[in-house]
Amino acid sequence: MEPGWVCRIFRDWAVCCAGLLAVGGQPAAAAPQVPTAGGARLDQLPQQWRDDRGDRLPLASLVGHRVILTMAYATCHKFCPATISNLGRLQQALDARGEQVDFVIVGYDPDSDGPATWHRYRAHRHLNRSNWHFLTGTPDATAQLARQLGFEFWKYDDHVMHDVRVVVFDAHGVLANAIGSGTRDWSAVL
Amino acid sequence: MSIHTPSRWRVAALAALMAGALPSLALSASTATDKDKLIELQKKLDQSIHMIDALAGRVRELEARQAAVAAAPPVAATPAAAPATAEPAAAAADQRISAVEQKVSQIETANATRHSDDSGLPLHGFADVGVGNRNPYFPTYKGFYIDNLDFYLTPHLGEHTRALFELNNEVGADGSVGIDLERAQIGYQFSDRATVWIGRFHTPYGFVNTAVHHGAWINDALRRPAFLQFEDHGGILPAHTVGLWLTGSEHAAAGRLQYDGYVGNSQLIEGGVVDMRNAGNAHGKLIVGGRLGYQFEGGSLDGLTAGVHAFSASRIEDDLPIPNATRVTAYGGYLTYDSDQWEHNAEVYFFDDEDLSGTTGSHHSNAEYVQFGYRVSWGVPYVRFERTDLDQTDEYFLQQISGGSYQRAALGTRFDLDSRSSIKLELAETHLTDRSRERFAEEQFQYAIRF
């Protein structure tokens, strides 16, 4: 390697990082409103789901408390971990209020991620609270739920291409709010 | 005609109009995006509910008036009859309104649960462009470049039949844009344990060749290791095979056993580039290979995958007037660690090739890389080291334009702008170690999207 290569690499690197930080520090435009999928109801969604223990869990059975729902796949390391982490912060905020809310994570890829996979997933990440539900359905039910709730996704071999999206149902099971990529303050939806 | 009749018919007519209008509203928005459609439906539903409320008020007003008129002549005799008549009338109105609301709800449910047309073909893909002091694949060029416009098609064909097509518009070594049917595979999925594919597929060796396809966005690094590039982008391995591929996985103990076996047309070196022989080869010789890996799930090793791979192409010729022929045998291993925080990959390849032309005997070469990546909220910075030591008396490497040995160190990062676009930077130093002793530095920028 040429002498001074390391210095030149890090000089160029520092210039690039400074540029990125300058760009990233610009005030963002106002986040677009996240569509809420038109007042969908929990009891109108597909109901044939199994949780990570293999037990049936109809979504309609969760009516009575607010429900925060998202979709994910177990080998996602791009956006799903951040989404789950943000849901954890919402849980903390709700705990502070003393409000009981159900968190539902529906698997995008039931062919790859069954109940056993989700069981390992939640154990590995210490997501063991009883109000957190990791659900697996049939491919058709998964696609239908995604359509009804506005979760756009497609499979690229073993990868699932998807956006960041979380929806919030009120205590009556009616879709009330949604969180998307542009949402800055997740707690505002509560 | 009583005063009830026109009001009842108006409410029923309005409900029928909404029942007819809502599907057509949905249809009229079919060309818009799903999000636009949902917003539009929500607006229309809100308007409908307002209309129902207004109608309900009007019905109550009319019925109260009628009750008042009916009770008016014997005013002194039955003053209490007006409220008694109004209550059943109001209850009847409430029932009719509830029926209308239920009908609207049913229409909404039917529309929301309506399956999309299964004969449609969703079109998705990737694209990337960039700029650098050297083209990342053809280092004799400098400046701005277009790379791929990659279309990915997976028509839904039924419960077991699968199909996958990856049609890539890409820039070649001569700067021209060509269209490559990079993958064209039709398969049958017996179960999670076994899917059989026939067609053109990414040869299942190592990790990168089947994890990082033609869409640049999917790769956290700006590019693949040079020796593992696609054939027409400087790679030295048969990245594509035209043949038959059996693949599957099985849950086992603390993870998943992954396996692949394949057979296909033995390749040809044409114009200095490995060609996978889409239409077959002249001699009918085959490439045969397999890969076995274990992916740990849960526990302290969650995210770790280790595996071995091997293939043997029984006869790879070149396109010289008196062609050389080589039996290429490659084997090696791979190790990946993929977690929420880390993304590390390493692969090693050993070549034991035999000159079938009978002049130079056996040859041994090797190629390897290791990459370390760290996931942060905005992207993935990474560092990578690559090295090949290729026997230049081995005709398989000698006849390839990119068959020379090299070393490369690279420092890069991926920066996610949003969930569908990213920019990548890479700084690299490359040292050619046998055909020339050239060293050059690279500064690369890439803008990659998915759609």
Q: Test B429 with A40 for CB contact under 8 angstroms.
A: no
Query: Measured between beta carbons, which residues in chain B are less than 8 angstroms from residue A159?
Result: 218
What DSSP element (H or E) covers A24?
helix A5-24
Lateral strand order in the sheet of A175-180 = A132-135, A101-107, A66-72, A165-169, A175-180
Structure tokens at B242: 């035209």
* Largest pairwise CA distance in chain A: 69
Q: Which of B40, B49, B113 to mutate to test the interface with A (most CBs of A within 10 A)?
A: B113
What backbone phi and psi angles, to 5 degrees, belong to A22? Answer: -65, -45
- Provide the 3-class DSSP secondary structure of residue A14: helix
Q: Provide the angle, in degrees to the nearest 10, between the axes of the packed helices B34-71 and B4-28.
A: 180
What b/e readout covers B207-237, taking b as 16+ CB neighbours within 10 angstroms? bbbbbbbbbbbbbbbbbbbbbbbbbbbbbbb
Tell me: pLDDT of A25 over 70. Answer: no
Does the beta carbon of B375 lie under 8 angstroms from any beta carbon of chain A? yes
Does the beta carbon of B180 lie under 8 angstroms from any beta carbon of chain A? no
- Provide the 3-class DSSP secondary structure of residue B284: coil
Which residue from B232, B226, B240 is spatially nearest to B270, judged by alpha carbons? B232
CA atoms within 13 A on the CB side of B238: 37
| Mean of pLDDT values over B209-213 | 95
Domain A42-189 has CATH 3.40.50.720: no
Q: CB within 8 A of B402, min separation 6: which ones?
A: B226, B227, B229, B234, B235, B236, B272, B273
The 8-class DSSP code of residue B341 comes to S
What DSSP element (H or E) covers B344?
strand B342-355
Confidence of residue A28 (pLDDT cuts 50, 70, 90): very low
Tell me: pLDDT of B348 over 70. Answer: yes
Per-residue pLDDT reduced to its tens digit, B420-434: 999 999 999 999 999
Confidence of residue B339 (pLDDT cuts 50, 70, 90): very high
The pairs formed by B172-180 with CB atoms below 8 angstroms and a separation of 24 or more are B172/B232, B173/B137, B173/B138, B173/B232, B173/B401, B175/B141, B177/B146, B180/B232
pLDDT of residue B297: 87
Per-residue pLDDT reduced to its tens digit, B442-451: 999 999 999 9
Tell me: pLDDT of A108 over 50. Answer: yes
| Mean of pLDDT values over B109-118 | 48
Tell me: pLDDT of B239 over 90. Answer: yes
What DSSP element (H or E) covers B92?
helix B81-113
The pairs formed by B113-116 with CB atoms below 8 angstroms and a separation of 24 or more are B113/A44, B113/A144, B113/A148, B115/A144, B116/A147
Tell me: pLDDT of A185 over 90. Answer: no
Per-residue pLDDT reduced to its tens digit, B120-147: 677 899 999 999 999 999 999 999 999 9
Q: Give CA–CA dist B444/A22, Å, rounded.
A: 19
pLDDT of residue B156: 82
pLDDT of residue B79: 47
Q: CB within 8 A of B344, min separation 6: which ones?
A: B335, B336, B337, B338, B370, B371, B372, B373
What backbone phi and psi angles, to 5 degrees, belong to A58? Answer: -70, 140
| Mean of pLDDT values over A51-72 | 96
Does the beta carbon of B35 lie under 8 angstroms from any beta carbon of chain A? yes
Backbone angle region of B404, left / alpha / beta, with phi > 0 → left and psi within -120 to 50 → alpha: beta
Cβ within 8 Å of B, A 112-171: 116-117, 120-121, 123-124, 144, 147-148, 150, 152, 154-159, 161-164
As assigned by CATH, the class of the B124-450 domain is mainly beta
Looking at residue A76, its amino acid is C
More confidently predicted of B319 and B103: B319
- How much is the ipTM here? 0.84
Q: What percent of chain B has pLDDT over 70?
A: 83
Tell me: pLDDT of B219 over 50. Answer: yes
Q: Which of A63-67, B189-193, B297-301, B316-320 has the highest mean pLDDT?
A: A63-67
Query: Measured between beta carbons, which residues in chain A are less than 8 angstroms from residue B343?
Result: 77
Sign of CA dihedral B85, B86, B89, B91: negative
Is B50 buried (19+), middle (13-18) or exposed (0-12) by CB count in 10 A? exposed
In B, minimum Cα distance to A78 occurs at: B340
Q: What residue segments make up the domains of chain A, in order of their start?
A: 42-189
Q: Provide the angle, in degrees to the nearest 10, between the axes of the packed helices B81-113 and A139-149.
A: 120
Query: Measured between beta carbons, which residues in chain A are less than 8 angstroms from residue B409?
Result: 1
Tell me: pLDDT of A34 over 80. Answer: no
Backbone angle region of A125, left / alpha / beta, with phi > 0 → left and psi within -120 to 50 → alpha: alpha
Confidence of residue B175 (pLDDT cuts 50, 70, 90): very high
What DSSP element (H or E) covers A83?
helix A80-97
Q: Give CA–CA dist B34/B31, Å, rounded.
A: 9
Does the beta carbon of B419 lie under 8 angstroms from any beta carbon of chain A? yes
Which residue from B171, B160, B202 is spatially nearest to B184, judged by alpha carbons? B202
pLDDT of residue B123: 86
Which residue from B232, B228, B220 is spatially nearest to B182, judged by alpha carbons? B232
Q: What residue segments make up the domains of chain B, in order of their start?
A: 4-113, 124-450
Q: Test A9 with B427 for CB contact under 8 angstroms.
A: yes
Does the beta carbon of B210 lie under 8 angstroms from any beta carbon of chain A? yes
Q: Provide the angle, in degrees to the nearest 10, between the axes of the packed helices B34-71 and B81-113.
A: 160
| Mean of pLDDT values over B333-347 | 97
More confidently predicted of B111 and B287: B287
Which residue from B425, B23, B17, B4 is spatially nearest to B221, judged by alpha carbons? B425
How far lies B184's CA from each of A140, B197, B211, B242, in Å? 25, 10, 17, 9
Per-residue pLDDT reduced to its tens digit, B43-100: 777 777 777 777 777 777 777 777 776 665 554 444 444 455 566 777 788 788 777 7
A 10 A CB-CB count for B106 gives: 12
Confidence of residue A24 (pLDDT cuts 50, 70, 90): very low
pLDDT of residue A19: 55
How far lies B226's CA from each of B262, B291, B368, B428, in Å? 24, 21, 10, 12
Tell me: pLDDT of B270 over 90. Answer: yes
Tell me: pLDDT of A32 over 60. Answer: no
pLDDT of residue B48: 75
Give the gap in angstroms from C-alpha A169 to the nearest C-alpha of chain B: 15
Query: Measured between beta carbons, which residues in chain A are less than 8 angstroms from residue B45?
Result: 38-39
Per-residue pLDDT reduced to its tens digit, B61-76: 777 777 776 665 554 4
Q: Test B431 with A78 for CB contact under 8 angstroms.
A: no
Strands (E), B266-303: 268-270, 273-275, 286-296
Which residue from B334, B72, B304, B150 is spatially nearest to A157, judged by alpha carbons? B150
Q: CB within 8 A of B342, min separation 6: which ones?
A: B303, B372, B373, B374, B375
Tell me: pLDDT of B395 over 50. Answer: yes
Per-residue pLDDT reduced to its tens digit, B22-39: 444 444 444 446 677 777
Lowest-confidence pick of B53-62, B106-115, B333-342: B106-115
Mean pLDDT, chain B, whole residue set: 86
